[in-house]
Amino acid sequence: MFYQKILKPIFFKFNPEFIHNIFVYIGELLGKNRIARNLTRFFYGYKDRDISKTVDGLTYKTPFILSAGFDYNGRLLNILPEISFGGAEIGSITARPCEGNKKPRLKRLPKSQSLIVNKGLRNHGVEVVIKRLKKIKRTKNFVIGVSIARTNDSKNQDTKEGIADYFYSFKRLNEENVGDYYALNISCPNSFGGESFADPRILPDLLESLSAVKCDKPVYVKMPINLEWSKFRELLEVLSRFKMIKGVIIGNLNKNYEDLDFPNEAPKDYCGGLSGKPCLELSDNLIKHTRASYGRRFTIIGCGGVMSVENMKEKFRAGSDLVQLMTGMIYNGPGFMKELSKAYSKNEKS
């Protein structure tokens, strides 16, 4: 209530990227202080019946993961467990540091419950993030995923360079034993190289190259959602051939502005993908099809448009093993994951 009635109206008056940076700054500060962490847990921590879930050998204290793009440099890993997340996917990180696209990079669309995202993979680069993650004090049953993407710069022009870029990050993370699972972001809609690996003709080249790296952690692939089932299935067919790939995250941002409840809310001079509500239906449908066609071959992490308890239940009903979210937290506040956890617990019981 405090967030909804008082903080959110104030925050929403300011530039969203500025507010995001403030959140990361405050969250990192709170995470460093034991009393602040305890207080945060007191207000926002789920404390009822055990709802932990083990997937691919990793135990999540709640089945909710912060999706990639919020904590892109791995600064919030001490505070996120206290607001009822069972894990966080940091990144997407890239082989080289990345400034991201030109501003404006974010725009709120409150009537449509969405954000326009044009971050362009702004991050500190794999080496800096490895150093940071190595210093993190781990929280029990809080899983750290690392999302890997292709550096968004002009050095990265062709497929060969793109593969070398993913390979470098993947190899370094494995060498340093950093992260509990890895997500290959092949579907970032707003970077220099485009969505080049969300193409069944060249995806095998990337996966063959990465298969040469010794990796004993689950690897998931972050999928695009603006594909018809037949095209989406072609990508799954490729993934199913690679033992290393344990699952899919369904999925990334929606590129279709027609899916907004209020398409006129999006200014003409903005470009980027849409998060939140416009992702819900596309993601749920692809999850259902994937589960029906592939059974348990893939772990499914459902992601996109979880703005309410009902949306969360639908994601699990569709076939998700775990649920990722970000925009729902931005719109509902830090108490949202506790609310989801309580509802999930009741649902499991009944």
Ligand X SMILES: Cc1cc2nc3c(=O)[nH]c(=O)nc-3n(C[C@H](O)[C@H](O)[C@H](O)COP(=O)(O)O)c2cc1C
CB of 34 to ligand X, least distance (A): 30
Query: For the window 115-144, what string marks contact with ligand X as x by the rule CB under 6 A?
Result: x-x-x-x-----------------------
Among 185, 196, 290, 341, binds ligand X (CB under 6 A): 185
135 CB neighbour count, 10 Å cutoff: 7
Return the axis-axis angle of helices 203-211 and 229-240, rounded to nearest 10°.
20
Query: In terms of C-beta density within 10 A (0-12 exposed, 13-18 middle, 19 or more buried), how is residue 13 classed?
Result: exposed
Alpha carbons 308 and 176: distance in angstroms, whole number: 38
Of 141, 104, 89, 134, the C-alpha closest to 20 is 104
CB of 149 to ligand X, least distance (A): 6
Alpha carbons 337 and 329: distance in angstroms, whole number: 7
Tokens of 280: 């819900």
Among 252, 290, 311, 320, binds ligand X (CB under 6 A): 252
- 3-state secondary structure (DSSP) of residue 346: helix
**Cβ-proximal residue to ligand X, closest one:** 69
Query: In terms of C-beta density within 10 A (0-12 exposed, 13-18 middle, 19 or more buried), how is residue 258 classed?
Result: exposed
Q: For ligand X, give the closer residue by CB, 78 or 113.
A: 113
Query: For the window 253-272, what string marks contact with ligand X as x by the rule CB under 6 A?
Result: x-------------------
Tokens of 301: 């992490």
Stretch touching ligand X by CB under 6 A, among 74-82, 94-102, 151-159, 274-282: 274-282
Query: For the window 290-329, what string marks contact with ligand X as x by the rule CB under 6 A?
Result: -------------xxxx------------------xxxx-
Cα dist. 203→128, 184, 199, 238, 239 in Å?
Answer: 27, 11, 6, 7, 8
Number of chain positions touching ligand X (CB under 6 A): 28
Tokens 């044009």 -> residue: 118
Residue list 57-96, contact with ligand X (CB under 6 A): 67-69, 72, 91-92
Query: For the window 196-235, what string marks contact with ligand X as x by the rule CB under 6 A?
Result: --------------------------x-------------
CB of 26 to ligand X, least distance (A): 17
List residues near ligand X by CB under 6 A: 67-69, 72, 91-92, 106, 115, 117, 119, 121, 147, 185, 188, 222, 252-253, 275-276, 279, 303-306, 325-328
